[in-house]
Amino acid sequence: MTPGEYTRAVHTPVPPRPEQEPLGLPIYRTAAWAFETADEYRDVLNDSRPGYSYSRVDNPTADAFAQGVAALEGAGVDAPVAGQPFASGMAAISTVLMALTRAGAHVVCPREVYGGTYGLLSDLLSRFGVTTTFVDTTDLDAVRSAIRPETTVLWGETLANPTMTVADLPGLAAVAHEAGLTFVVDSTFASPAVCRPLEHGADVVVHSATKYIGGHSDVTGGVAVGSPELIARIRHDRIELGGSLSPDDAYLLHRGLATLPLRVARHCASALTVATALVDHPSVERVDHPGLTGHRDHGLAVKLFDEGRYGAVVTITPRGGREAGVALCDRLRLIRVATSLGGTHSKVSHVASTTHRQLDDDALAAAGIGAGAVRISVGLEDPDDVIADVVQALNSL
């Protein structure tokens, strides 16, 4: 008996499964998978049989992306490294923290942490009984002193936003592991093309993949990598919280991995050129970039980072405070005032009113961030054009 018209429209022929390996990543744009039996469905859901059931749980395209990041981050680690994909960097950060804390737990975190992480810890997680001590993590003794019996996580950032402070990853890892803590590192500002924190003792690495990994300002995503045991805990909470990466976004992020070293090398070289050109401008109070020999963490950056790559963010603090910082942003012509970083276009933001708006003046000062600080994400343009744009804006202040 021939099926009816509506049935034929729904149940079209199953597409062929080619034996050859595709060079482009297939996009599994499906929310659900079908099973031969009810028992198979049960077993896949319970992780007792490999497979896919529902894209909020797992998706092959998203898994391929996370596995790609794990391969890059874990290249120098003599142990298995797994990854989990997320819908955004904050989805990755929040899920990792929720997986590693509980009511009554305590976190030790840098004072100059990303504003979104600061808000998550100081506002949202505090409502559920998680407390945080924000310390100067460049002072290992201060970190040790902040640890309590209930501390479960030491948080770090490979490169701090926006001061470009370099984390002493081996030192912090040693402190964390002495106390039995999980050492989590946000390496968004570095990417695995600059530094791989797992090689230096980190237990979990998170990224806002929206930035350098995606690289084109056209996709949002996040990722966490670490040991299979830790990542299994994080995956469990990711499924429950629902911050899963879509297959289309996973495809774009996976595509970004192929050119990541090429792009980041160019970004970093241009950023150092820009920083060097601006450091002596009379309207500039301070330039933060670890490639500068005068930066307090230059020696540490040389030790931990791939040769010649010191990150691609340059933070300048003009003389004149908050008003001068806002005016500098507004007078740029080539560089765009825009959210995020790590894309092809150079972007600028006034730190105190945007990325670190969650911090009051006291918290900004404690983090070493000036009220007028301006963060420049150096893109792929000719560095001389970027320099000329910043100089003309500074000259008009």
- For residue 282, give the DSSP letter: T
DSSP assignment of 162-177, as one string? TT-PBP-HHHHHHHHH
Tens place of pLDDT per residue across the chain (397 aa)? 899 999 999 999 988 989 999 999 999 999 999 999 999 999 999 999 999 999 999 999 999 999 999 999 999 999 999 999 999 999 999 999 999 999 999 999 999 899 899 999 999 999 999 999 999 999 999 999 999 999 999 999 999 988 999 999 999 999 999 999 999 999 999 999 999 999 999 999 999 999 999 999 999 999 999 999 999 999 999 999 999 999 999 999 999 999 999 999 999 999 999 999 999 999 999 999 999 999 999 999 999 999 999 999 999 999 999 999 999 999 999 999 999 999 999 999 999 998 788 778 788 888 888 999 999 999 999 999 999 999 999 999 9
Instruction: Determine contact, residues 106/150, Cβ cutoff 8 Å.
Output: yes
- According to the model, what pLDDT value does residue 362 have? 84
Cα angle vertex 17, ends 12, 18, to 5°?
135
For the CA atoms of 62, 162, 154, 231, what is the dihedral angle to 10 degrees?
0
Nearest to 73 by CA among 163, 169, 175: 169
d(CA 370, CA 352): 8
Residue 192: per-residue pLDDT: 98
Q: Where are the beta strands (DSSP E) in 163-264?
A: 182-186, 204-208, 222-226
Provide the pairing of β-strand 151-157 with 222-226. Answer: unpaired
How many Cβ atoms sit within 10 Å of the Cβ of residue 126? Answer: 12
Give the strand order in the sheet containing 313-318.
284-288, 313-318, 374-377, 347-350, 336-337
Residue 14: count other Cβ atoms within 10 Å of its Cβ: 7
Residue 310 contacts residue 272 (beta carbons within 8 Å):
yes
Q: Which residues of 278-316 are buried (b: 16+ CB within 10 A; e: fewer)?
A: bbebebbeebbbbbbeebebbebbeebbbeebbbbbbbb
Q: Are 176 and 156 a contacting pair, CB within 8 Å? A: no
The DSSP H or E segment spanning 325 is helix 321-330
Give the domains, in start order, of the chain with CATH numbers: 38-255 (3.40.640.10), 261-395 (3.90.1150.10)
Any idea which residue has 């299979």 for tokens?
228
**What is the DSSP secondary structure assignment for residue 120, as one 8-state letter?**
I
According to the model, what pLDDT value does residue 313 have?
Answer: 98
The DSSP code for 375 is E
Supply the pLDDT for residue 23. Answer: 95
Residue labelled with tokens 């990543």:
25
- Residues near 13 by Cβ (< 8 Å), separated by ≥ 6? none
Q: What is the pLDDT of residue 364?
A: 82
38 is written with which tokens? 């009810």
Give the pLDDT of residue 361: 79
pTM: 0.95
Task: Please state, as a whole number, how many other Cβ atoms lie within 10 Å of the Cβ of residue 20.
Answer: 5
Q: What is the separation, in whole angstroms, between the first and last Cα of the chain?
A: 81
- In angstroms, rounded to a whole number, what is the distance separating the alpha carbons of residues 68 and 249? 14
Residue 280 confidence (pLDDT): 95
What does the pLDDT look like over 195-207, one tens digit per residue? 999 999 999 999 9
Q: How far apart are CA 154 and CA 152, in angstroms?
A: 7
Under 8 Å between Cβ of 92 and 245: no
Taking the C-alpha atoms of residue 103 and residue 126, their distance in angstroms, rounded to an integer, is: 9
